[in-house]
Chain A
């Protein structure tokens, strides 16, 4: 296993659209092991996408099982050729990225998604997920289409308009 080099902005390769995986072989699985080791090597990343290490194939890893406050999650997920088949709701959250050092910003993401993907052996996977995990998957899937969170950053002021339709956090007042 090896820790791979992370591409960082302004590297134009991060804008490249990745190709679907067609060969589910040992080489792919060895690469996924390296990708996971790379994710764990730096700052606490909850996900990583293959193009972040210069491999332009549709492979991401997401694992939000280790947040400060536990959130609903499916543990360690390897998603090959992932697709969002359904999404619902939206909320703002703060994101950063291994490919964008020393910057965080607010991004609006769907709160509930359904996804279809394949595992490293090509077997079909389906997940329904919400909140932070759904956010992480959307962030990683963006990488596969050459998008970074900085392409989606919004002003926090935007949030004020959303309070009317969406409210969370805190506890109800007596």
Chain B
């Protein structure tokens, strides 16, 4: 029961994807865990932990075919209640150019910063695209050393700030 699979589904966005996918799983006795679903570039993407008896692909195949989705399933070693609360956020914004993510994340990796979530988007217009990225993660080192390390990236505007999660 606690053997989780990571289910990945991607396809052209249309209303009803989540409803049809999750209903097919529910009717076949599958349970859902943590999930991330978002529309990226006109596609709808689903990454979702699922658990159940047997093989999941046949359960979803009719829906996948009907909706024109790509399906990928991995057995994973993960489990629920493994959350790491982020303590640092990194915001990046600037005129879009190649290498922004590579440069910023290379510095973060060098500093031992563990990325927990990354969201990025291209704003602006086709003529003047602006790259905006928001990273939340965990690092033991002081904010200042991360800031100093990110300070040498030239034209990329990087802002580092602490996340003080309020428990009340």
The answer to whether B163 touches A170, judged by C-beta atoms less than 8 angstroms apart, is no
Cβ–Cβ contact A67 & B134, under 8 A? no
Task: Let me know if B147 and A171 touch, CB within 8 A.
Answer: yes
**Do A163 and B168 have beta carbons less than 8 Å apart?**
no
A47 to B167, CA, bound (A): 7
Contact present for B158 and A170 (CB under 8 Å)? yes
A95 touches which of B123, B147, B165 (Cβ 8 Å)? B165
Q: Which of the residues A49, A96, A157 comes within 8 Å of B165, measured between beta carbons?
A: A96
Q: Is the CB of B166 within 8 A of A93?
A: yes
The digit string for B80-95, where 1 denotes a CB below 8 A from any CB of A, is: 0101011001010100
CB-nearest residue of chain A relative to B90? A170
Interface: A10 (CB within 8 A): no
For B85, the closest partner residue in chain A by CB is A104
Cβ contact within 8 Å between A102 and B83:
yes
A58 within 8 Å of B by Cβ?
no
Residue B164 is within 8 A (CB to CB) of chain A in the complex: yes
A96 to B81, CA, bound (A): 14
Q: A160-B132, A170-B91 are in contact. Are A95 and B162 (CB under 8 A)?
A: no
Known A104-B85, A156-B119; contact A136-B160, beta-carbon cutoff 8 A: no
Residue in A132, A160, A173 whose beta carbon sits within 8 Å of that of B166 in the complex? A132
Query: How far does the Cβ of A90 sit from chain B's closest Cβ, in whole Å?
Result: 15
Would A160 and B164 be within 8 Å (CB), given that A169-B91, A170-B147, A170-B158 are in contact? no
On whether the beta carbons of A46 and B166 are closer than 8 Å, the reply is: yes
Contact partner of A94 among B121, B147, B160, B163, CB < 8 A? B163
A169 closest partner in B (C-beta):
B161
Contact call A47/B132, Cβ cutoff below 8 A: no
- Is A48 located at the chain interface by the 8 A CB criterion? yes
Which of B89, B93, B147, B164 has most A Cβ within 10 Å? B164
Residues from 115 to 134 in A contacting B, C-beta threshold 8 Å: 132
Q: Mark A118-160, 1 if CB is under 8 A from B, else 0.
A: 0000000000000010011001100000000100000011011
Determine the chain A residues whose CB is within 8 A of the CB of B162 once the complex forms: 68-69
Chain A nearest CB, measured from B163 CB (Å): 5
Q: What 1/0 flags go to A53-69 for Cβ under 8 Å of B?
A: 00000000010000111
Binding site for B on A (CB under 8 A): 43-49, 62, 67-69, 71, 93-98, 102-104, 132, 135-136, 139-140, 149, 156-157, 159-160, 163, 168-171, 173
16 contacts between A and B (CB under 8 A): A69-B162, A93-B164, A94-B163, A94-B166, A98-B167, A102-B81, A104-B85, A132-B166, A139-B166, A139-B168, A156-B136, A157-B119, A160-B121, A160-B134, A169-B161, A173-B157
Listed in ascending order, the chain B residues whose CB lies under 8 Å from chain A are: 81, 83, 85-86, 89, 91, 93, 117, 119, 121, 123, 132, 134, 136, 147, 157-168
| The 7 A-B residue pairs with the shortest CB-CB distance in the complex, in nearest-first order | A170-B159, A169-B161, A47-B168, A139-B168, A94-B165, A45-B167, A96-B167
